[in-house]
Amino acid sequence: MSENPTIALDAMGGDIGPDAVLPAAINIYKKYPDLNLVLVGQEDSLQAGLSRLGVEQDERLRIHHASEVVGMDEPASSAMRNKKDSSMRVALNLVKEGTADACVSAGNTGALMATGRFVLKMLPGIDRPAIITALPNITGHSHMLDLGANVDCTSDHLFQFAVMGSVLSSVVDNIEQPRIGLLNIGEEEIKGNERVKMAAQLLSDSKLNYVGFVEGDDIYKGGAADVIVCDGFVGNVSLKTSEGLARMIGHFLKQEFSRNLLTRIMAMISLPVIKAFKKRIDARRYNGASLLGLRGIVIKSHGGADELAFTNAIEIAIKEVHNALPQRISAMLEQLLTEE
Amino acid sequence: MSENPTIALDAMGGDIGPDAVLPAAINIYKKYPDLNLVLVGQEDSLQAGLSRLGVEQDERLRIHHASEVVGMDEPASSAMRNKKDSSMRVALNLVKEGTADACVSAGNTGALMATGRFVLKMLPGIDRPAIITALPNITGHSHMLDLGANVDCTSDHLFQFAVMGSVLSSVVDNIEQPRIGLLNIGEEEIKGNERVKMAAQLLSDSKLNYVGFVEGDDIYKGGAADVIVCDGFVGNVSLKTSEGLARMIGHFLKQEFSRNLLTRIMAMISLPVIKAFKKRIDARRYNGASLLGLRGIVIKSHGGADELAFTNAIEIAIKEVHNALPQRISAMLEQLLTEE
């Protein structure tokens, strides 16, 4: 890792594109004087965007041209085949060739996953990349993976996810021995499915701090585990269920407060509380999922991320760069395999 | 179905037991003058409970003695082997022998599932029972299954769930052709896992009103489907994730409103709105999951159900009895299989 790390930003990705990425980049530029940023995307458009924000390129904030953009609904295979000069791919190339230490993109997950894997390759000993993010809970937060990179996982995959999640949690949250929980259900007579039960055995036999099964309601309760491991299908459904439910609850709260003049007055009076509450459950503060298992740091921002959310995603990249996350994952994996 | 249906209540089940079941039974007794209720459990204790509530047994509300109680954490196998006179099992026996038209229990899900299956047997053409419940969304509600009865499902199982869910939705919500959605994830290049893709094919080829894939965030968004089909592992995690998240959001809202004197005053002023909001997201109004696929109607109430919640569960049983749900499922299945 260089003394002054460089982060490549896919400046065209996401639903908002440069209008979110550029202001976020400028926030980071001001906050981290030892950091370099590369804005990857259509030069003219990015140049104009920076000008509108009253900022000029310098050696710490520069534009790297890429002529194409991967569509948010574009299949990964099409992006891989037809968009070799996409902002996403070029940003990943910068990581590959060592020009950048990490890449942040709000582009479509499937394309980012597939291209990231193709360009950067997997870490030795890791079969599949996994998506991990921090999730708030009553007592703080935990990390959960995989959130959708893999649909059919073996127990070995789940074990590898646990290793990667453990390293990330220890690095990002400064926990010496992160507690690893395996997501399961408690309804069946014989708890859980075969893959989960076999993964539990692997984890029990390892040096990881495995604390056993956790259930869906433990995710937001907190206290159960620092890292929650599951396959990508389950993780993705759980995460999206949460997004939908939070939106519904917000909708109902708003509806009740805007029912009539009286309730609107109540809303005005309670505004400070409502604002504080909204901040507490603001998903933007948790934006930024790491694509683990690659030979390089790739952060996936939510597609709808705005300036604040994208800024958060860049800060996760910075933390991982400072801690050389991929190297630490490799070292941990080697250590665990040697111990066996 | 008899003119005056009879519902058997496992009066000892759940975290609260008779203190929730008896008041709920009395609510139902008063509200439905053409309905009979059988309270199954320890006679003395139930008799004393009724007396405390100022109610006496009559031909419409009677106690049926059962000497044992299945523990909330008791493995299903142990309940099956050792508790042949449990309130749960005796209530199911009453359905089996035709004394009751349905059974409602807040006892442990695993034991209720296993015992229900053992006592009542499966409907012809259905391999596995499934748990279904109504979930609120922004535009109304939908039904989702399976919520934890099955951990490893084939595409045939998912198809059978769709059939059962479709009948339940048409019966309970009076929808002629309920829209069936298959829960999936959209992150992978090739969407979803093999089982889901094969189930999608089966559903597309059937006469069911299959509307395609839905994702986790569609559950609470509404408008996507009337019935959401998934395997029990995914459904259980999704449901429990929701429980946990709703609890966390409630916790944060309460915390913000009780931060200091000023916010407490704001809470007092906004109380009508807060109450209306709480009512909107009150899970008790959705309490009562149906165990589908059995030759009899079995409703599983949440273990923590109070009087209001348990009352709701009984009302679901009443609706299913009036509509002869198991017979309708059989008829629909036969119709679908004949058409093929």
ipTM given for this complex: 0.87
Q: What is the pLDDT of residue A339?
A: 62
Mutate to test the interface with A, among B108, B112, B144, B188 (most CBs of A within 10 A): B188
Minimal CA separation from B59 to chain A, in Å? 36
The mean pLDDT value for A201-214 works out to 94
**CA A263 to centroid of chain Cα atoms:** 38
Residues present in chain A in total: 340
Asked if B280's CB is within 8 angstroms of A237's CB, the reply is no
Q: CATH assignment of B127-290?
A: 3.40.718.10
A194 touches chain B (CB under 8 A): yes
Asked if B236's CB is within 8 angstroms of A237's CB, the reply is no
A273 touches chain B (CB under 8 A): yes
Q: Which of residues 74-93 of A touch B (CB under 8 A)?
A: 75-77
Q: What is the pLDDT of residue B1?
A: 43
**Cα A95 from Cα B147, distance rounded (Å):** 43
Contacts of A252 in chain B (CB under 8 A): 277, 280-281
**Cα A18 from Cα A22, distance rounded (Å):** 5
Q: What is the 8-class DSSP label of residue B101? A: S
Of A187, A221, A238, the CB nearest to B148: A187
What's the topology of domain B1-125+293-324?
Answer: Isopropylmalate Dehydrogenase (3.40.718)
Q: What is the 8-class DSSP label of residue A86? A: B
Q: What is the pLDDT of residues B78-119, one digit of tens each?
A: 999 999 999 999 999 999 999 999 999 999 988 999 999 999
Confidence of residue A275 (pLDDT cuts 50, 70, 90): confident
Q: Considering chain B, what percentage of its residues have pLDDT values greater than 90?
A: 71
Q: Which of residues 43-72 of B touch A (CB under 8 A)?
A: none
In the sheet with B130-137, reading across from the earlier edge strand, the strands are B61-65, B36-41, B6-10, B102-105, B297-300, B289-292, B130-137, B140-145, B227-229, B180-183, B210-214
The mean pLDDT value for A163-186 works out to 92
Alpha-carbon distances of A244 from A250, B26, B133, B145, B238, rounded to whole Å: 10, 37, 18, 18, 11
Q: Residues of CATH 3.40.718.10 domain(s) within chain A? A: 1-125+293-324, 127-285
For chain A, helix, strand, coil in percent to 5 are 50, 15, 35
Q: Residues of CATH 3.40.718.10 domain(s) within chain B? A: 1-125+293-324, 127-290
Give the list of residues 6+ apart from residue A313 with CB closer than 8 angstroms, or none. A24, A104, A106, A287, A288, A299, A300, A301, A302, A305
Q: What is the pLDDT of residues A13-65, one digit of tens each?
A: 999 999 999 999 999 999 999 999 999 999 999 999 999 999 999 999 999 99
The pTM score is 0.90
Give the list of residues 6+ apart from residue B322 with CB closer than 8 angstroms, or none. B1, B5
Q: What is the pLDDT of residue B132?
A: 96
Q: What is the pLDDT of residue B97?
A: 96
pLDDT, averaged across chain B? 91
As given in the structure block, the two tokens for residue A290 are 């790491």
Residues present in chain B in total: 340
Count of pairs with CB atoms under 8 A, one residue in A, one in B: 213
Statement: residue A2 has pLDDT above 80: no
Contacts of B249 in chain A (CB under 8 A): 246, 249, 281
**Cα A224 from Cα A104, distance rounded (Å):** 30
Q: Which stretches does DSSP call E strand in B165-248?
A: 180-183, 210-214, 227-229
Statement: residue A86 has pLDDT above 50: yes
Of A238, A240, A281, the CB nearest to B249: A281
Contacts of A114 in chain B (CB under 8 A): 189
Give the list of residues 6+ apart from residue B153 with CB closer than 8 angstroms, or none. B128, B146, B161, B195, B231, B232
Confidence of residue A297 (pLDDT cuts 50, 70, 90): very high
Q: Which residue has the tokens 């998506």?
A: A131
Q: Which residue has the tokens 């665990």?
A: A336
Contacts of A255 in chain B (CB under 8 A): 280
Contacts of A151 in chain B (CB under 8 A): 185, 188, 192-193
B232 touches chain A (CB under 8 A): yes
**Closest CA relative to residue A310, chosen from A102, A17, A20, A14:** A20
Statement: residue B64 has pLDDT above 90: yes
Q: Which of A24-28, A66-70, B25-29, B191-195 shows the lowest per-residue confidence on average (mean pLDDT)? A: B191-195
Angle between helices B261-269 and A261-269 (to 10 degrees): 170
Q: What is the pLDDT of residue B275?
A: 86
What's the topology of domain A127-285?
Answer: Isopropylmalate Dehydrogenase (3.40.718)
**Cα A245 from Cα A238, distance rounded (Å):** 10
Asked if A183's CB is within 8 angstroms of B244's CB, the reply is no
Contacts of B247 in chain A (CB under 8 A): 138, 217, 220-221
Q: Are B103 and B299 in contact (CB under 8 A)?
A: yes
Mutate to test the interface with B, among A237, A257, A265, A278 (most CBs of B within 10 A): A237
Q: What is the pLDDT of residue B191?
A: 65
Q: What would you report as the CA-atom Rg of chain A, rounded to the nearest whole angstrom? A: 21
Contacts of A107 in chain B (CB under 8 A): none
Contacts of B246 in chain A (CB under 8 A): 245, 249
> ω into residue A146 within 30 of 0, thus cis?
yes
**Cα A325 from Cα A332, distance rounded (Å):** 10
Q: What is the pLDDT of residue B311?
A: 96
Give the list of residues 6+ apart from residue B271 with CB closer than 8 angstroms, or none. none
